[in-house]
Amino acid sequence: MQPRILALFDLDHTLLPLDSDVMWAQHLVEVGAVEPTWHQRRNDHFFEQYKQGTLNIDEFLAFQLAPLAAHPRAQLEAWREAFFRSRIEPQITPEARALVDQHREAGHLTAIVTATNEFITAPIARAFGVEHLIATLVQEEDGAFTGRSYGVPSFREGKVTRVAQWLALMGHDLEGFEESHFYSDSLNDLPLLSRVSRPVAVNPDQTLKQHAQDQGWPVIHLFSEKSAT
């Protein structure tokens, strides 16, 4: 039997007051995993593209995933643990936890849907108590990362595709829910926001804020301001 209500959450600047992609790149610079000047410049370049809605996802993923292929898995996991404990966990607000818990405790089918790759975001989803994570998939061979993604990146229209694929694996479809919620901050998520029955703009960028007001969508704030880093 299909659940009655679906609740989907974007992650960066929606449940978190930061961009985990950007912060991870900065963390790699700080631990000496990458050449700092070039890496920081490219990181800033892609973040500006993302904010403008012009990000080339393939170019970005080639940049973001390359360090995963350059270091041993154990080292990467140690860096990720330090990253989560120092940069992510302290930024999870009670308001964000309460919003997720409200849906989980009501028995709604709940997932985080993010363009950020699964290696970075899996511990974050666990911290929110969310079982289902729809993130950009990272290719592995013999337990080591190749530096490439696979499947459809969970970005823009790709989020609609990935959600449909995930639901189909469980024998569900988006139209079968009595209510479907999606919470996001970004203009990049307009494709999925436009497909659910209850879109909610959370800490929205200016484009999404205007669109939400025009469409009569709810606008909420889980933290006072968005961090650019």
> Which residues are the active-site residues?
10, 12
Q: Sign of the CA dihedral 16, 19, 24, 30?
A: negative
Hey, how many other C-beta atoms are within 10 angstroms of the C-beta on 97?
15
- How far is it, in rounded angstroms, from Cα 18 to Cα 23? 8
Give the pair of three-digit tokens for residue 79: 């860096």
DSSP lists the bridge partners of residue 201 as: 184, 219
DSSP lists the bridge partners of residue 133 as: 112
- How far is it, in rounded angstroms, from Cα 37 to Cα 191? 35
Q: Are 198 and 181 in contact (CB under 8 A)?
A: yes
In what helix (H) or strand (E) does residue 141 lie, and over which residues does it extend?
A: strand 132-141
- How far is it, in rounded angstroms, from Cα 28 to Cα 25? 5
Cα dist from 87 to 22, 25, 137, 200, whole Å: 11, 12, 22, 26
Q: Sign of the CA dihedral 10, 13, 16, 21?
A: positive
